[in-house]
Copies of this chain bind each other. A is one copy, B any other.
Amino acid sequence: MRAGSDEPRTAERKHHHLPIEASRVHWGYFSRSLQPQLEIASGDTITIETLTQHASDDPELMITGDAAAESVFGWTRARKNVDRRGAGPMDASVFGRGAGEGFGVHICTGPVAVKDAQPGDVLEVRILDIVPRASRHPKHSGRVFGSSVAAWWGYHYGEFLAGPKPREVVTIYEIFDEAVAPHARALYSYRWEPQTDPSGVVHATYDYPGIPVLPGTVKRRHDVLDGIRIPLRPHFGVIAVAPREVDFIDSVPPSYFGGNLDNWRLGKGATVYLPVSVPGALLSVGDPHATQGDGELSGTAIECSMTGTFEVILHKKTDLAGRPFADLSYPLIETETDWVLTGFSHPNYLAEFGAQGQSEVYAKSSLDLAMKDAFRKMRRFLMNVKGLSEDEAIALMSAAVDFGVTQVVDGNWGVHAIISKRLFHQDDS
């Protein structure tokens, strides 16, 4: 199962490459029992290819001609290369959507095992580079495309002004990542029409990932967002280690293990620290985004296949004292300028809700709960990491911490708290 990797050697940093194809992804779920694709050592770097689960919104632009994408999305009546999509039952006995039921949607590449990682350790994942994956279709070769869906899980879905109500809308974008001001422009959009998947199941809504949308089954509108250039913020929506509580976790709700954080600050140059829960950590990456607003209102970003290069550093439990990520119980993001703490409606919904967690969390999300969590985490960070008293921490939060809405569409809604690193590192000028 090892792909493009070398065995790590002591005291020597290795570079690994994890290309993508059907056998190297888990689609729509995390699991502590997945076999690692490869093992790396602390300090190694790794290039991980990822695909957007929305490539099937326009297969010609985003799948055709790309052997890896064709492998992952490959699906005929006779054969579905990646059968399980989601953490639901393989026999689709709940809704009949397909194997895994689409309870979780993200194509995740991995997992990658980290040598010597044990529960209680912290995994530092530095994002060294992010490069969009260009089309390999002969007619579009070298161009980059993405898709965004205003879907039934979007925040707006119960709020339509005009009919038809409800409706789902897919917008296809071209990505100009090499422009002086990198941006996306809309190419066309279409309203979702019932799609019959290759297995013969009809999807009246966008309820299962990877359904190929063929020309002629939808009506394309080309005069969409004319003249508007959307600045890029390339990042990975999903960076996860495997959770400990249960097996087969829906990839949608983020939590203490990371996962579908959907925070655009996780771009090139940023780092995320994740608490290790299982031996080997089992790092996975996916859900590549060309850009996203805080909120991710419609339910998706501009989703766009991308390849990331990461430096992965393991911090052993016994070496954490005095470090910013000591006593870490949630994904902590560090950018060039800021610390970004991730608050959730339910910080560990798997533990909180038990066996029903994966459905309960969707019903009980609230920005008010996420704000409370972000507040508590920032107070703890300022006290434990920065050595402030509780009174100092409260004062500083009021004067200098910015709370923002991360997302209101991922089951476990998020509020982040940002504090500038500059406050603590200033000369006397």
Contact = CB atoms under 8 A, between A and B. Distances in A.
A182 interface: no
Nearest to A160: B390
Interface string A39-75: 0000000000000000000000000000000000000
B423 A230 contact: yes
B295 A399 contact: no
Interface stretch (A98-106, A127-135, A355-363, A403-411): A403-411
Given A155-B375, A231-B420, A405-B371, A398 B300 contact: yes
Interface string A381-401: 000000010111011111111
Contact of A400 (B231, B396, B397, B408): B231
A294 B396 contact: no
A150 interface: yes
A171 interface: yes
A301 B191 CA distance: 46
Given A160-B390, A392-B224, A403-B405, A293 B398 contact: yes
A404 B300 CA distance: 18
Contacts of A402: 293-295, 404
Nearest to A162: B390
Nearest to A155: B375
Interface in A103-129: none
Instruction: Give this chain's copy count.
Output: 2
A154 interface: yes
A399 B155 contact: no
A227 interface: yes
A296 interface: yes
Contact of A396 (B159, B225, B403): B225
A230 B301 contact: no
Contacts of A159: 372, 375-376
A189 interface: yes
A299 interface: yes
A290 to B, nearest CB: 9
B392 A423 contact: no
A226 to B, nearest CB: 9
Given A189-B391, A423-B230, A367 B371 contact: yes
A228 interface: yes
A148 interface: yes
A333 to B, nearest CB: 16
B391 A169 contact: yes
Given A367-B371, A368-B367, A375-B156, A398 B225 contact: no
Q: Which 4 A-B pairs have the closest CB atoms?
A: A298-B398, A294-B402, A367-B367, A403-B405
